[in-house]
Amino acid sequence: MLFLHERHEILAGTGAEFEAAYRDTWMPRLARDDDARLIWYWRHANASSRPNNIVTISAVKDARALGRLSESLQHGELAGFASHLDTLRRDVVSSVLTPTRFSELNEIDFATVGADAKQRHERTMYVEDVVWPPSLDDYVAMAGESWYRPAAAGTGKVRARISHPAFFQVAYGAGVRPEVYLIQKLIDPPEMFVRNLLATDYPPEMKAPDHYFVRGLAVRDQWESRIMSNAEWSPLD
């Protein structure tokens, strides 16, 4: 399973139209066949980092299906859709992600992924951490054992409760290496995240030499966190 990650820098004021294009055209178009689905539509929270950014993630069955999708966007049925989006955005950068061996999200039964433009769920918040470790494999091993698994199991000590739906790396030749994506869904209310994480210094125990956060500095100290609001119609809640 591959995951097409697209970061769109949209023009100010075009958010509703851009979102409608993904909800009303892209999502049902992918669902017409059995080899791809939109799974998340995220609005990168303004006043947190980059303005006017949207992230979309679509699951694609395999490399051949990804090729068909690429062809359709470039030369085929979806070329007009892409050109329409171009009038609403300044830029778009696409990467292809693949699950690390730890990722909970791995294979997806596409029959279970909704694609109805009218579908709704509670608005949810995600934090997407994009990490640039010096050594990809060393980081994946350490983060997988010491951070991802405990956090996903609810046994890790974190300052806001999260679930951990996915842990991706970039597919060869289709983005940055080393680059890793930790997809974290907030379970606690957003206010707790803001108060306990954003507005609070690291507690003393997180500065202890044997704490994962400190030990982890050997394998990573460069990352970017992106606070994402998941659209109410986004197929995965």
Partner 1 sequence: MLVIRETHRVIGLHQDNFEKLVRDEWMPAVASDPGTRLLWYFNHAHGSSISFNVVTVTGVEDWDAWGRLGERVQSGDLQDLAYRMDRMRYGTVAAIHEPLDWSPFHGPSLAAVSPGGADHDRTMYIEDTIQADGGAFEAGPEAVRAAYGGNIDPSAPGLTELTAAFRPVAVAGRRGEIVLLQRVRDLGALAQYYLDGEAGEGAPWSATHAPTPFTDTWTTRVLRAAPWSPLP
* Binding residues for partner 1 (CB under 8 A): 4, 62-64, 66-67, 69-70, 73-74, 79, 82-83, 86-87, 90-96, 98, 101, 132, 134-137, 169, 171-179
Min. distance of Cβ 229 from partner 1 in angstroms?
24
Residue placing its CB nearer to partner 1 in the complex, 48 or 72: 72
Q: Which of left, alpha, beta for 60 (phi over 0: left; psi -120 to 50: alpha)?
A: beta
Looking at the DSSP assignment, which residues form a beta bridge with residue 63? Answer: none
Least separation in angstroms between residue 230's CB and partner 1 is 22
Q: Between residues 38 and 186, which has the closer beta carbon with respect to partner 1? A: 38
Q: Where are the beta strands (DSSP E) in 51-104?
A: 53-60, 89-99
**Angle ∠(151,5,134) on CA atoms, nearest 5:** 60
Cα angle 210, 215, 217 (rounded to 5 degrees) comes to 150
Tokens for 86, please give them: 């171009």
CB of 176 to partner 1, least distance (A): 5
Shortest Cβ 164–partner 1 spacing (Å)? 20
Spatial distance between the Cα atoms of 64 and 24, rounded to a whole number of angstroms? 25
Closest CB to partner 1 among 57 and 160?
57
Within 10 angstroms of residue 50's Cβ, the number of other Cβ atoms is 12
Nearer to partner 1, 94 or 119 (CB): 94
Tokens describing residue 93: 């950068």
CB closer to partner 1, 40 vs 193 = 40
Distance of CA 90 to the CA centre of its chain: 20
Backbone angles phi, psi at 55, to 5 degrees: -120, 130
**Angstrom distance (rounded) from CA 92 to CA 5:** 10
Nearer to partner 1, 132 or 232 (CB): 132
CB of 20 to partner 1, least distance (A): 18
Instruction: Name which of 78 and 125 has its Cβ closer to partner 1.
Output: 78
**Shortest Cβ distance from residue 117 to partner 1 (Å)?**
23
* Rounded least distance, CB 122 to partner 1, Å: 30
Closest-CA residue to 110 (of 230, 185, 27, 166): 27
